[in-house]
Amino acid sequence: MKNLEHLFPSMPSYRGYWHSILLEPIIGSGEKITVIIVAVGNDSAFKIHKTLNSDVLKCLYGNNAYKIENIIHFLAESIQNELTSRGHLESWESPFQGVELRDKSDAASANLDGILNQGILFSSSFAKASLNHAKKSPKKQKWANNIINQVKTHPVLKSFINKKILVNDVKIKYHFLTEKYVANFGQLSVEKNDVAEKIYDLEILKKINSEKDNYEIIIETSNCLPKHIQLFKDIASDNGIGVIETTHEKENEIIHYLLQKVA
């Protein structure tokens, strides 16, 4: 058995846990969103991540965004004070109504950032989307750009590509937009993941414009584990977003699929 040890990955050496903090923006509505992720290591180190940046808040709440942002700021400050003085959040009480501290989730990773990222990944699509917006790069958009460039050359489809919609003074771009159908393209793999942010953009449009029949995310999954694909399928499904899987080898089929949507 000793000779087989090298076949199995070693367990991550850094251990700790994470909390998610949920806010009910309209008290009594029952609608809650994850606004903060807190990661705490067994060495007492901690990190606090506000999941919704200013642009995201403006899209969701328009002129009231600054109020929500101020609440989140004070929540983060209160949590930091509690962790600094006590080292945990077991007895922490929110300074505001409509705030929920979820039970801690034990985790292991290479470092505290890894534990924080686990919390972000498993808490909500909004949280994941916010992180991805911050990390967005042209390299991550390569597959989507290839599809967009192909669609741009098609005489029937080119007029529906990269359409922007103004949402509370913020312009959001959608990869393919018709009167009744909207789709974004994303790539899901070990190195690249821009799917969550694209799902999130579709969520925003669905929330403000229910006239369209179909909202879909078309994802390239050549180098992705099935469990990761299922995770994003669940996120999309929970928000009424359809998921279409494809691979590099089937890129031409996307053109035919989109043609059916405009027929």
pLDDT at 79 over 70: yes
Question: Residue 137: what pLDDT?
Answer: 43
User: 57-67, pLDDT tens digit by residue?
Assistant: 776 777 778 88
Q: How far apart are CA 175 and CA 160, in angstroms?
A: 8
Per-residue model confidence (pLDDT) at position 230: 78
pLDDT band at 7 (very low <50, low <70, confident <90, very high): very low
Q: Please indicate whether residue 178 or residue 3 has the higher confidence score (pLDDT).
A: 178
What is the model's pLDDT at position 249? 75
Per-residue pLDDT at 28: 72
Q: What is the mean pLDDT of the chain?
A: 81
Percent of the chain, pLDDT > 70?
Answer: 83
pLDDT at 189: 64
pTM, two decimal places: 0.52
Distance CA 101, CA 263 (A): 49
What's the confidence (pLDDT) of residue 258? 94
- Residue among 62, 85, 59, 71 nearest 21 (CA): 71
Give yes or no for residue 191 having a pLDDT over 70. Answer: no
Helix (H) / strand (E) containing 259:
helix 251-262
150: tokens are 């192909």
What gap in Å lies between CA 101 and CA 36, rounded to an integer? Answer: 10
In terms of average pLDDT, the best of 97-111, 207-221, 234-248 is 97-111
Q: Percentage of residues in the chain with pLDDT exceeding 90? A: 35
Tens of pLDDT, residue by residue over 27-74, are: 777 778 889 999 999 999 999 999 887 777 776 777 778 888 899 999
Residue 138 has pLDDT above 50, yes or no: no
- What pLDDT does 125 receive? 54
Residues 136-262, CATH architecture: 3-Layer(aba) Sandwich (3.40)
Q: What is the pLDDT of residues 203-238, one digit of tens each?
A: 888 877 667 788 999 998 877 667 667 777 877 887
Q: Domain locations in the chain?
A: 7-127, 136-262
pLDDT interval class at 123 (50, 70, 90):
confident
d(CA 23, CA 15): 27
What pLDDT sits at residue 193? 58
Q: Examine the pLDDT at 155 and tell me if it is beyond 60.
A: yes
Quick one: tokens of 74?
A: 């004070």
How many whole angstroms separate alpha carbon 26 and alpha carbon 206? 20
Asked whether the predicted pLDDT for residue 87 surpasses 90, the reply is: yes
pLDDT digits (tens, 9 = 90+) for 13-28: 899 999 999 998 877 7
